[in-house]
Copies of this chain bind each other. A is one copy, B any other.
């Protein structure tokens, strides 16, 4: 074992990274950017001591000096100079990842995980090794990307019972279905586009055949129900099994088709389903598009809760791991949540926001009426994005306009108010 790391300072936490791909690099940068502030706010010195990589010479987008870059994983997992291991290996080589995790735990290192496959398949082993070595395992980044779902489960449901969890958990399949629904692509076209954009692997089976979603619903069951289901005993229905006409028929009937995973707690077991699923169009889940994930959690007391965010992406995933890292360290230092740092609050001024607007006008049905009104918008620099004309009566029409973001709505209002041949019926805010 190389002993390159200097003597540990008090309050110093020595961090080892397993993997320095896009997520690992982003996490390294987050540690670099925040280290000074974290030292000042919490008295914690984050020290990124070493990283395991496959290729030392590869160019990386990392803005922090890492003393040891090594192709030997033992330099992280078995190194007595490392306190916390952050596993950013990704999807491939989960058997090897399993060994890295077990080695880290057996060498009494707390660990932050990102590999859902290794966790879902070997959770009982990891938990036993964590318990017997009295170290922590945190794994918010394994499911829902940037959604802080494990933080929710840790601090909520204390007097409640989680009865059901469901979600859109696989960003790749959801991206494909979104393209099918919104751009009328068929599955294979949309998959190809996902691959070109880097959202799907060359071998996309884990994502599009439901395995990834199955692993994640198992992890959510662990978090929310404190029960470990075995994904080996379950069958996922492939997400490939949807044709464009199914999307269209579902839409006619008021549904969207989504790549869903769900787990319901039933006495003594968990009822699950993973596969393409019709969901009512106005449900939160049906309105989760592209690379976003949604997780719905039902409790006996609190009722239905929903959590939404980017399910994939380097920044959201690294952000979840960084929060896990800080929460882990703070929990060990016994000063998490003390007084909520309310002393650091300061006062701030509220100012009204400029925005897009919805205008509803009545105007006399006479030649040039429309041109007359729109020219008033134009010379007040208010751009018109959408227009709807309704001839309610012979004498006058209703005109509905959606504008761009503009500053001069007040000037516009004042000028239109003076026009005797129209009436301002309503003006409302529009969000982007």
Contact = CB atoms under 8 A, between A and B. Distances in A.
A242 interface: yes
Interface residues of A, number: 136
Interface stretch (A96-104, A252-260, A415-423): A252-260
A337 B150 CA distance: 11
Interface stretch (A69-77, A297-305, A365-373): A297-305
B386 A253 contact: yes
Contact of A151 (B124, B151, B159, B343): B151
Nearest to A30: B159
B272 A352 contact: yes
Interface in A207-260: 218, 221-222, 225-231, 233-235, 237, 241-243, 245-246, 249-250, 252-253, 255, 257, 260
A338 B166 CA distance: 27
Interface string A132-159: 0010111000000011100110111111
Contacts of A313: 303
A395 interface: no
Nearest to A275: B429
Given A151-B151, A339-B134, A426-B243, A347 B303 contact: no
A309 B295 CA distance: 12
Contacts of A200: none
Interface stretch (A9-17, A47-55, A185-193, A281-289): A281-289
A92 interface: no
A217 to B, nearest CB: 9
A56 interface: no
A270 interface: yes
A265 B422 CA distance: 38
